[in-house]
Chains A and B, each alone.
Chain A
Amino acid sequence: MANIMIRRSDKGDYVFYLPKRDLEDTIVSMEFDTPEKWGGEIKLNNGGAYFIEPQAAPARLPYSVRAKRLDAAE
């Protein structure tokens, strides 16, 4: 489990940020992306994948949340 931060880029995509490792990357897909259910498995541009416990979408981004690493790139 790691703390991550999700924000929106100027282009409107979700951006993933892992402070511990200073890793910033765009999120290419998120399993659930509706106001009621948000999160699940997220895939990063670099090939990595993380899992966020599905929850109601945060009221405002950026949003820090715990995530589980499923598959790290590198």
Chain B
Amino acid sequence: MSNLTKEQAEALIAEVLEVYPEKAKKDREKHLAVNDQSIEQSKKCITSNRKSLPGVMTIRGCAYAGSKGVVWGPIKDMIHISHGPVGCGQYSRAGRRNYYVGVTGVNTYGTMNFTSDFQEKDIVFGGDKKLAKLIGEIEGLFPLHKGISVQSECPIGLIGDDIEAVSKKAAVEIDKPVVPVRCEGFRGVSQSLGHHIANDAIRDWVFGRDGKDVKQEFVPSPYDVSIIGDYNIGGDAWSSRILLEEMGLRVVAQWSGDGTLSEIELTPKVKLNLIHCYRSMNYIARHMEEKYNIPWIEYNFFGPTKIAESLRAIAAHFDDKIKAGAEAVIAKYQPMVDAIKAKYNPRLEGKRVMLYVGGLRPRHVIGSYEDLGMEVVGTGYEFGHNDDYDRTIKEMGNATLLYDDVTGFEFEEFVKRVQPDLVGSGIKEKYIFQKMGVPFRQMHSWDYSGPYHGYDGFAIFARDMDMTINNPCWKKLQAPWLKKPEAEVEMAKAA
């Protein structure tokens, strides 16, 4: 199907909105828009970061998910207690593929689940004693851990436990940081507020320790940078890091994929903060800019065009040696990029994609699709804010669809009508679209593949997209006896 015109896209939105009752329609209307690059400010066309409508199928998570799952969880040498009933932590355990090196259960704890397993009596009498006991047990069982974070689940805020007091006391007892995080799931409208709360907790409870937990002396260099907002999904941070190192920079910290507590504590000593996921970690970068005078820039390591742009932008903050280094890196990988494009572009050229993801990917991955000759015809954020859409409008073509906090119904209808060649979203959407016969890639977990960042990641990205879109299975979804006669004719011809 050819692309929609602006009028058709508007008509499509209106049609999809038809089924809602009047009030719901008015609300959802504001979250759906047709992109228009001439608009400077996204708030003129789309509303975001609002409470989801009761009764619709939203795809969002909660503040606890944003803090424990995204920001804190990947810090591998700390133990993150899911404080409250067992479910929140257990059902999300190891679900996010933020890779790390280390021996799990000995010096790293990424895929384990620690919980205070609240029972009725804890709700009635309070769980502070239990938390204190739990911290003592952790210290006994896992003596090599570097610190503890207490990730509050909903009940903690509801019953009014004083986790701050317990944490302060325990931190003195075990002489390690114990960080209370007030990320109860009911706070805010989505996981986004959880990111913010988590960032603030790092600011107050980790930076506040003034590097007390860094055992080795730190010798600064003029080329120190940190990678902020890369969660090492499938190894993303690693394939980013090597590029920065090849151009001559020293990566002091990874936030937070494969990251450690001492890396976090050393970050205020770097020269430049590099932000990949703006939505989840801009807060801490803003803080470091004000307090420690460290500038920050956003970068994008998806697809060769954006990588080259970003490498140059990063290098512009340093001397000629780094600038030359950036050019050398770009030149070094050019043959590889050419080979990838020569192989995959003919197979993917002109294919159309619809995305619906989280923090940065709805806009960041557009470049890598375009590098493969593909086109993104619709995109949206689960929990984006205005500033995310401001940044997205420029990346998207005119008359493409933008949908904020899209509902299950809207997304299905859009896909039915736009008929993209690929949908990129999460696990909850995957099987719906596959059953509809639409090729699908999970763009949160990279469908158990990855990394997709950096030049090495681009090779894998291209292969995966080809593998999915051109998979012969999509032609076999219809039962043979339902096949149209023409198909039979063709088959007969082919035989």
A binds B: yes
Closest 8 CB pairs of A and B: A62-B290, A24-B387, A62-B289, A22-B385, A64-B290, A46-B43, A5-B286, A46-B41
Q: Answer whether residue B196 sits at the interface, using C-beta atoms and an 8 A cutoff.
A: yes
* Known contacts A22-B385, A23-B386; A60/B293 CB under 8 A: yes
Instruction: Give 1 or 0 for each of A2-27: 1 = CB within 8 Å of chain B CB.
Output: 00010100000000010100111000
Q: Answer whether residue A45 sits at the interface, using C-beta atoms and an 8 A cutoff.
A: yes
Q: Answer whether residue A36 sits at the interface, using C-beta atoms and an 8 A cutoff.
A: no
* Known contacts A23-B386, A24-B387; A17/B41 CB under 8 A: no
- Does B290 lie within 8 Å of A5, measured CB to CB? yes
Shortest distance between the CB of A38 and any CB in chain B (Å): 16
Q: Answer whether residue B468 sits at the interface, using C-beta atoms and an 8 A cutoff.
A: no
- Please, how many angstroms separate the alpha-carbon atoms of A19 and B49 in the complex? 14
Shortest distance between the CB of A44 and any CB in chain B (Å): 10
- Does B43 lie within 8 Å of A17, measured CB to CB? no
* Known contacts A22-B196, A23-B386; A7/B286 CB under 8 A: yes
- Does B43 lie within 8 Å of A74, measured CB to CB? yes
Which A residues contact B (CB, under 8 angstroms)? 5, 7, 17, 19, 22-24, 45-46, 60, 62-64, 73-74
Which B residues contact A (CB, under 8 angstroms)? 40-41, 43, 49, 192, 196, 283, 286, 289-290, 293, 385-387
| Cβ–Cβ < 8 Å partners of B196 in chain A | 19, 22
Shortest distance between the CB of A36 and any CB in chain B (Å): 22
| Cβ–Cβ < 8 Å partners of B286 in chain A | 5, 7, 17, 19, 62
- Does B41 lie within 8 Å of A45, measured CB to CB? yes
* Known contacts A22-B49, A23-B386; A63/B290 CB under 8 A: yes
- Please, how many angstroms separate the alpha-carbon atoms of A19 and B286 in the complex? 10
- Please, how many angstroms separate the alpha-carbon atoms of A73 and B270 in the complex? 37
- Please, how many angstroms separate the alpha-carbon atoms of A59 and B8 in the complex? 53
| Cβ–Cβ < 8 Å partners of A74 in chain B | 43
| Cβ–Cβ < 8 Å partners of B290 in chain A | 5, 7, 62-64
| Cβ–Cβ < 8 Å partners of A5 in chain B | 286, 290
Shortest distance between the CB of B204 and any CB in chain A (Å): 13
Shortest distance between the CB of A67 and any CB in chain B (Å): 15
B49, B192, B386 — most chain A CB neighbours (10 Å): B386
- Closest B residue to A19 by CB, please name it: B283
Shortest distance between the CB of A26 and any CB in chain B (Å): 10
* Known contacts A23-B386, A24-B387; A7/B283 CB under 8 A: no
* Known contacts A22-B196, A22-B385; A7/B289 CB under 8 A: yes
- Closest B residue to A23 by CB, please name it: B386
Q: A17-B286, A22-B49 are in contact. List 14 more A-B contacts (CB 8 A).
A: A5-B290, A7-B286, A7-B289, A7-B290, A19-B286, A22-B196, A23-B386, A24-B386, A24-B387, A45-B41, A46-B41, A46-B43, A63-B290, A73-B43
| Cβ–Cβ < 8 Å partners of B289 in chain A | 7, 62
| Cβ–Cβ < 8 Å partners of B283 in chain A | 19
Instruction: List, sorted by A's number, 20 A–B pairs whose CB atoms are closer than 8 Å.
Output: A5-B286, A7-B286, A7-B290, A19-B283, A19-B286, A22-B49, A22-B196, A22-B385, A22-B387, A23-B386, A24-B387, A45-B40, A46-B41, A60-B293, A62-B289, A62-B290, A63-B290, A64-B290, A73-B43, A74-B43
Shortest distance between the CB of B182 and any CB in chain A (Å): 15
Shortest distance between the CB of A16 and any CB in chain B (Å): 12
- Please, how many angstroms separate the alpha-carbon atoms of A45 and B42 in the complex? 12
- Please, how many angstroms separate the alpha-carbon atoms of A40 and B283 in the complex? 26
- Please, how many angstroms separate the alpha-carbon atoms of A24 and B40 in the complex? 14
- Please, how many angstroms separate the alpha-carbon atoms of A60 and B293 in the complex? 9
- Closest A residue to B200 by CB, please name it: A19
- Please, how many angstroms separate the alpha-carbon atoms of A23 and B286 in the complex? 13
- Closest B residue to A20 by CB, please name it: B196
- Please, how many angstroms separate the alpha-carbon atoms of A19 and B387 in the complex? 13
A5, A22, A46 — most chain B CB neighbours (10 Å): A22
Shortest distance between the CB of A62 and any CB in chain B (Å): 4
| Cβ–Cβ < 8 Å partners of B293 in chain A | 60
Shortest distance between the CB of B343 and any CB in chain A (Å): 37
- Closest B residue to A62 by CB, please name it: B290
- Closest A residue to B283 by CB, please name it: A19
Shortest distance between the CB of A25 and any CB in chain B (Å): 8
| Cβ–Cβ < 8 Å partners of A24 in chain B | 386-387
| Cβ–Cβ < 8 Å partners of A19 in chain B | 196, 283, 286
- Please, how many angstroms separate the alpha-carbon atoms of A17 and B387 in the complex? 11
- Closest B residue to A64 by CB, please name it: B290
- Please, how many angstroms separate the alpha-carbon atoms of A45 and B390 in the complex? 12
| Cβ–Cβ < 8 Å partners of A17 in chain B | 286
- Please, how many angstroms separate the alpha-carbon atoms of A64 and B287 in the complex? 10
B43, B196, B283, B293 — most chain A CB neighbours (10 Å): B43
- Closest B residue to A73 by CB, please name it: B43
- Please, how many angstroms separate the alpha-carbon atoms of A5 and B196 in the complex? 15
| Cβ–Cβ < 8 Å partners of A62 in chain B | 286, 289-290
| Cβ–Cβ < 8 Å partners of B386 in chain A | 23-24
- Please, how many angstroms separate the alpha-carbon atoms of A22 and B286 in the complex? 12
- Please, how many angstroms separate the alpha-carbon atoms of A63 and B162 in the complex? 32
- Please, how many angstroms separate the alpha-carbon atoms of A33 and B437 in the complex? 60
- Please, how many angstroms separate the alpha-carbon atoms of A8 and B62 in the complex? 32
- Closest A residue to B195 by CB, please name it: A22
